[in-house]
């Protein structure tokens, strides 16, 4: 009877170890996600601080800080008039944020985005 009880106890311990291993794996994934999110927020924070320092002395963004936009002479030319919304999107893109429908508002961490660039060139 004692041997049976010993095997039952070993089996229970083995089950508990398996559960602990599973829980540890889940915690590891959560920590990984938190570290990635923290890194992304740190980069975004640094970029926002740089932007704030750059714009603080002027209080208002100047035309030279924005991307140069070619505007037609008037609506009579037959071309679409580029408006303030386009200027805002171009400024956001140059500040390091996505403006495409895929990643809109996310921080650009890997250089230029082809979706954003194609959107700006429309």
100 annotated ligand binder: yes
113 annotated ligand binder: yes
Torsion 13-17-22-23 (CA) sign: positive
116 annotated ligand binder: yes
98 annotated ligand binder: yes
- Class of residue 93 by CB neighbours under 10 A (exposed 0-12, middle 13-18, buried 19+): buried
Tell me if 105 sits within 8 A of 116, measured CB to CB.
no
- Strand partners for 42: none
**Bind-site residues:** 98, 100, 113, 116
**Bind-site residues for Zn(2+):** 98, 100, 113, 116
């Amino acid at each position: 009877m004692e041997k049976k009880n010993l095997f039952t106890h070993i089996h229970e311990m083995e089950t508990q170890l398996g559960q602990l291993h599973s829980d540890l794996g889940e915690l590891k994934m959560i920590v990984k996600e938190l570290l990635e999110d923290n890194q992304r927020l740190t980069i975004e924070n640094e970029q926002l601080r740089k932007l704030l320092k750059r714009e603080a002395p002027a209080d208002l963004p100047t035309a030279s800080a924005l991307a140069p936009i070619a505007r037609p002479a008037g609506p009579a030319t037959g071309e679409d008039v580029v408006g303030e919304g386009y200027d805002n999107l171009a400024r956001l893109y140059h500040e390091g944020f996505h403006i495409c429908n895929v990643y809109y508002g996310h921080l650009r961490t890997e250089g230029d985005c082809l979706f954003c660039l194609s959107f700006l060139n429309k």
